[in-house]
Amino acid sequence: MVSAPALSPVTIAKPDLISVEQAKAMDVARMTDLFKAHLNPGQLHFMKLLGFHKIKIERADGMFYIDQNGRKILDFFGGFGSLAFGHNHPRILEARKKFQEEKRQEIAIAFMSQYAAALAHNIAKCSPGDLDMVFLGSSGSEAMEAAVKLAERAAGPKRPKIVYAENSFHGKTKGVLGITDGQLYRADFKMAQNTVRIPFADIEAVERLFRSDPEVGVIVLETIQGGGGIIQAPAEYWQKLRALCDQYGVLWVADEVQCGYGRSGRFYAFEHYGVIPDVTALAKSLGAGKAAVGAMIARREVYMKAYGTPKTAMIHAMATFGGMGEACVTSIEGLNVLYDEGLIDNAAVTGDYLLQRLQVLKDKYPKIIKDVRGRGFMVGLEFHDFSQTLPMVLRPIVSVLDDKLKGSLSGFVGALLLRDYDVLVAFTEYNRNVIRLEPPLICQREHVDRFVDAFDSLLSRGIVSIVKDFVKSQVR
């Protein structure tokens, strides 16, 4: 007989760890030191330029962040579309609290999960046509990876080429980086060799490519380009695209990670055009601002071609954290809130009001604002090149620097809106002259009025004063 050994005494010393309470009490100086030491020193440079490094968010409620000084900051950034319900919606909090109190299961990989099953059912019910097969993940990049892999397998080995558009953004993970059209993100990574790049919204280019290259099997497009500067294609483009895909047997993947989930005034932006893709993807607000959730949704026929047998079913099955219990419960409640509170309709109606008010400002400041565009609560404000906003005598001198100065006016305006008006806005990846507005879908007219009035007040200072005010903020 061998007796079991006694448990070993604890001999491993605990590292110098920060507790939850210490983290909560951390001041801005300490946060900055740790960010620089352990997160992203280069990013801190840009945060300092915009003045964002001075702010510690203590809590958030509805349309507002609240900082360390009790200042309420109106959120027209919305986490790139991740906050459909604003911050800490009470129904979302209650659903999560109840899940925790009942000690429900989080990771149930060995078993079927009632929460993952229910969420997949709900997403299918929200999706038109036969988009009813769902893959659950944790991010938009993961959802798009799943979408592209499924489409490539369904298209088959004889049709391996994947088409993507100029100025597209589909994620930063290695696979979808090959169809993300940004040299900053691509850097010197080696991209997949089976991709073809075409202009966005050019249906003739699509038709020429489909007709000339029988190896094309998949086309991947954002319905509204976010990183490209809030760019849309006309209805005829999408209708002809659907017809061409059917004619040539090409599978269409619609990336709705940012423009989906009601942001455009329909659940999916492609629904505005009366068409349905073969595969699509959601994320961002699918997690209701409290969980990281992404989803790929495919037509059953396409899904079964890729993974429809026992031998192929596990090729791209759910990952460890896909379909986690509390995340699914959060998303289930979020979808119910989305419809119970009429937030898709609100995005359409109040989003139109936002666009109307911004168009008035464009007419008021034609030398500063080049364009106002978007749909629902996905809006882009494009400024003219910097030289064109200055007095006539300065334009020839500054115009040679326009390319280097792209994004500077957006940065000045964004920084001063935050500093002087307590308003937070976002920017776009490729067209740096664009300010991106993606407020929560709970946004009301009063919030639109506050934002537009602040923007109007700032522009009324004139460009020279705006530049001077920004420069002063950097030397304080």
| pLDDT tens by residue, 184-215 | 899 999 999 999 999 999 999 999 999 999 99
Sign of CA dihedral 62, 68, 74, 77: negative
The pLDDT of residue 394 is: 65
The answer for residues whose C-beta is within 8 angstroms of residue 341's C-beta and 6 or more apart is 442
What average pLDDT does the segment 408-416 reach?
Answer: 92
Q: At 339, give phi and psi (nearest 5°).
A: -85, -40
Q: What is the DSSP letter of 106?
A: S
400 pLDDT higher than 60: no
255: left (phi over 0), alpha (psi -120 to 50) or beta: beta
**Residue 73's pLDDT band (boundaries 50, 70, 90)?**
very high
The answer for residues whose C-beta is within 8 angstroms of residue 15's C-beta and 6 or more apart is none
Residue (of 374, 344, 335) closest to 441 by Cα position? 344
126 pLDDT higher than 60: yes
Would you mind telling me the total number of residues written for the chain in this entry?
476
Residue (of 423, 393, 428, 392) closest to 410 by Cα position? 428
More confident: 395 or 110: 110
Residue (of 392, 355, 381, 386) closest to 436 by Cα position? 381
Q: Which residues pair with 62 in a beta bridge?
A: 87
The answer for residues whose C-beta is within 8 angstroms of residue 187's C-beta and 6 or more apart is none
381 pLDDT higher than 80: yes
CA distance linking residue 269 with residue 378, whole number of Å: 10
